[in-house]
A and B are shown apart, each in its own frame.
Chain A
Amino acid sequence: EVQLLESGGGLVQPGGSLRLSCAASGFTFSSYAMSWVRQAPGKGLEWVSAISGSGGSTYYADSVKGRFTISRDNSKNTLYLQMNSLRAEDTAVYYCAKDQGAQWLGYYGMDVWGQGTTVTVSS
């Protein structure tokens, strides 16, 4: 079964750091780009970051550029999101998602999603 399982969320003070993990199983992890998408309480979906299958290319939303770093360890089938200088507006459920296509990043949509991990930034 294809599965994604996020972890690492929690309560952190403004200015603090947190690292999210997303453990993948049931597919050839290194063949697919992966993304992080977040959803603030009562709000819509916001794309945060994406990384190519090899990890050689990374992309960020303007709202997190310079503060968040996406990475992956293909030997461990795990995706990461290092979040620094956290702000109250980063409070959200963070989902990891798998790109459906092995080529043409994004064209085939994101077909597998984790259950989400909650990040709360508050003093």
Chain B
Amino acid sequence: DIQMTQSPSSVSASVGDRVTITCRASQGISSWLAWYQQKPGKAPKLLIYAASSLQSGVPSRFSGSGSGTDFTLTISSLQPEDFATYYCQQANSFPWAFGQGTKVEIK
């Protein structure tokens, strides 16, 4: 089974900061990776699919990159509504797996 490891587990940042979250797969998954944002008490929201494709309606300050085993989610200029928990998820092979999550907190 493929394991997904995110870092950091949490990050404190200010509005306007650039934030980068890393996700590593235990084996190569090509570009079969998605990123989700979740706010407390809400369902997850798809941000990025196929490692770097921006989901329709998602602000362009969000971007994804990587292939194989190492991936990143970047928020270029953090906005108040971006404080949330972010998860990566591999869909290269079953069982699918999520990373443990990265909480983006207000500094």
Contact = CB atoms under 8 A, between A and B. Distances in A.
Q: Classify chain A's interface size.
A: 20 to 34
A115 B48 CA distance: 20
B91 A44 contact: no
Interface stretch (A24-32, A69-77, A78-86, A99-107): A99-107
Given A44-B101, A110-B34, A62 B49 contact: no
Interface residues of B, number: 28
Interface centre among B38, B53, B96 (most CB of A within 10 A): B96
A109 interface: yes
Contact of B98 (A46, A114, A115, A116): A46
A111 B57 CA distance: 11
Given A47-B89, A47-B95, A107 B46 contact: no
B36 A45 contact: yes
Interface of B: 1, 31-32, 34, 36, 38, 43-46, 48-50, 53, 55, 85, 87, 89, 91-92, 94-101
